Amino acid sequence: MVEKKRWKHSGKWVEIDLDACSGLGLCVETCPADVYDLLNEKVFADNIGECIECLACQDICPNDAITRHFAWSE
């Protein structure tokens, strides 16, 4: 089973595939808005409200573990 975690704040959405996340922290280092933190070698987006929607996190992740959404389509 794939473990995914989602964060939402005022129309800003991010989904992280925790199984795919290797905890390199490239997204943490790259994000200009400090949205991401590492906890137990996994990335979390607890500051999603600060996101400026630049997609740098999604682009830098070598494992495609981060998906930025502008609307959920479930």
Structural domain for 41, as ranges: 4-68
Question: Does residue 38 lie in a domain region?
Answer: yes
Question: Does residue 73 lie in a domain region?
Answer: no
Question: Does residue 33 lie in a domain region?
Answer: yes
Q: What is the DSSP letter of 15?
A: E
Q: What is the DSSP letter of 55?
A: -
What are the tens digits of pLDDT across the range 34-74? 999 999 999 999 999 999 989 999 999 999 999 987 655 44
Pull the structure tokens for residue 19: 């199984």
- Overall domain count for the chain: 1
For residue 62, the domain's CATH number is 3.30.70.20
In angstroms and rounded to an integer, the radius of gyration of the C-alpha atoms of the chain is 11
In contact, 56 and 11? CB cutoff 8 Å: no
Question: Does residue 39 lie in a domain region?
Answer: yes
- Taking the whole predicted model, whether its pTM rises above 0.85 is answered as no
In contact, 34 and 47? CB cutoff 8 Å: yes
Res 10 pLDDT > 90: no
